[in-house]
Amino acid sequence: MNLLGNKEIFGIQIEKDDYAYQMSLYVNGQDILQFEMEGVCYPYRWRNFKDIIEWIQKNLKSIISEDECPLVLPGDSAVEIWKSVYKMEPEVVDMDQFEILQDWMFRHSWFSARAGSYLAEIFFRKKGDNVEISWDNSNTFKDDGVKFVFPVGKYEVGINDFQKVMEQVCYIYSQL
């Protein structure tokens, strides 16, 4: 496997075999993409990562340059902000504002690039000189019997380290 970055801080491992690609995303020593199903632990694997790579290439600049969510909403992290929207009463949500927030979230979470796979929903946003990585997958794919090994968390990594790893992921993918 190609380890890009540092497992103990922030890193991504990516490899390919005859059947699929495999990826691990490490924050603070934990692979936050791992999940369990029927008591068996699985790494994140999928037939290709083309959608994820395209999402990274399209959105990396937004992640490392947009500091604030375009709307003032409660929450200390991107995932908490997104969850607060779902707690609002439908008649209170202004659709124009919701679309602005949704566009921002699509640029800051790769979940839309999962192509039907069990990819953890992870948010990436600039926070000062760092990139915040936050996630809450406690109910993600629960109906399919999926339980993420590290379901909830928040971590910050330096912008330069984050950018370097993400750019390397795109390059390495093109070489596999």
The predicted pLDDT at position 40 comes to 98
The predicted pLDDT at position 9 comes to 96
The predicted pLDDT at position 75 comes to 77
The predicted pLDDT at position 31 comes to 98
Percentage helix, strand, coil for the chain under 3-state DSSP, each rounded to 5: 35, 30, 35
Amino acid at 61: K
For the cut 70, the answer to whether the pLDDT of residue 91 exceeds it is no
Query: Average pLDDT in the 21-45 region?
Result: 97
Q: Model confidence at 20, in pLDDT bands (50, 70, 90)?
A: very high
Rounded Cα distance, 125 and 67, in Å: 7
The predicted pLDDT at position 68 comes to 72
For 91, phi and psi rounded to 5 degrees?
-75, -15
For the cut 80, the answer to whether the pLDDT of residue 175 exceeds it is yes
Burial category of 30 from C-beta neighbours within 10 Å (exposed 0-12, middle 13-18, buried 19 and up): middle
- Contact between 132 and 77 under an 8 Å Cβ cutoff? The reply is yes
